[in-house]
Structure 1
């Protein structure tokens, strides 16, 4: 059987080497996953759990620069502090972001590549929540639909 090479699809070695380079350079690798039908977009990290803190997950159809900027900033803060983030955190906006511990199911539903990279599922995930323009967070009564993302 003859094998053909598909240049647009990296093999696993290249894929995981890129993740390793990003972790070595900045402490984490960031995945941005676009929305797919009813499933909202999401962003998550790989690499924080190598130092002890949890991985981060942000669900919602936010502009990639916004999602990536928030996740990268919070990842850096968490690594510098050497411990998980908690509660409401000021990131310079009108309202703070809220951090909550995600369920074990978040690893299979959202952070799948983290488990594949680590080769185990023994890592924690913190979900970052952004409130709507009125200050209502996902899961709270009256949260605007565009902000009322699934609680992972």
Structure 2
């Protein structure tokens, strides 16, 4: 993957006079803060989620997505990891991070590109030309186990998808409907 950015800030697609409120708000946030956070409300039996748009543009680090927590907590987690990236501590696949939230560690897993349209479409509207790297911020159950670890709480599967799997390989449930 090259480092060229094809976002709506860096590239003129000939439609700047027709950008919607989402795109305009995202541009303002990215220019002011370095990224924007998109919050998606719970719908269709799925919990809500949050993700960034702009981390790749500003810092050339993967965008982040987190699922199934309270909106404030999800926004805090991705903002904390964004702040760490801006300070020179970029997120990377396979990391377990203890600096995203005081409540628990989180693990970072790469998001399979086939999920982008389904769950991260607003980021695609900002970048226009995927692929771009996305990491899922995965939180553990009450006993500290992640969804892929033996003995983890089965409720994790309903709260957060396994986006490192392709949609065809993902266990059936609210995320594959």
Whether contact under 8 Å (1:44, 1:56) holds in the other structure is yes
- TM-score after normalising by structure 2: 0.72
**Aligned pairs, how many?**
141
1:84 aligns with 2:91: yes
In structure 1, stretches of 5+ residues that fail to align are 1-10
Offset of residue 23 of structure 1: 0.8
In structure 2, stretches of 5+ residues that fail to align are 1-17, 164-177
1:59 aligns with 2:58: no
List per-residue Cα deviations over 1:82-102 (Å, max 9, x = no partner).
743351111353531111111
User: Aligned partners of 2:27 and 2:21: how far apart in 1?
Assistant: 10
Whether contact under 8 Å (2:84, 2:90) holds in the other structure is no
User: Aligned partners of 1:30 and 1:140: how far apart in 2?
Assistant: 29
In structure 2, what is the equivalent of residue 49 of structure 1?
A: 56
Q: Find the partner of 1:93 among 102, 105, 112.
A: 102
- TM-score after normalising by structure 1: 0.82
Whether contact under 8 Å (2:53, 2:63) holds in the other structure is yes
In structure 2, what is the equivalent of residue 103 of structure 1?
A: 112
